[in-house]
Amino acid sequence: HPFMLATQFHPEFLSRPNRPHPLFLAFLDAVRKQAGARMDRVNSFELVEEILEQKSQE
């Protein structure tokens, strides 16, 4: 698998909806790269911003 992760800390406690932890951004970036042509995004930050915008409208 292209993205392996082992951690003893809890990045979810350091994340906020408008400021995701870099670990989560790295994970999203790996997902985007793996998806390749299936996703038409410039970078993971745009994807995160889009997700946050959708959540704020719910």
Residue 1 in any domain: the answer is no
Residue 38 in any domain: the answer is yes
* Of 26, 29, 5, 24, nearest in space to 13 by CA: 24
Does this model's pTM top 0.85? no
Give the number of domains in the chain: 1
Quick one: CA dihedral 16, 22, 27, 32, positive or negative? positive
Q: Write the pLDDT tens digit of every residue in 12-56.
A: 777 777 888 888 888 888 887 777 745 555 556 677 777 777 777
pLDDT at residue 27, as a whole number = 83
Residue 42 in any domain: the answer is yes
Residue 8 in any domain: the answer is no
Residue 27 in any domain: the answer is yes
Supply the range of the domain harboring residue 48. Answer: 16-57
Residues 45 and 43: their CA atoms lie apart, in Å, by 5
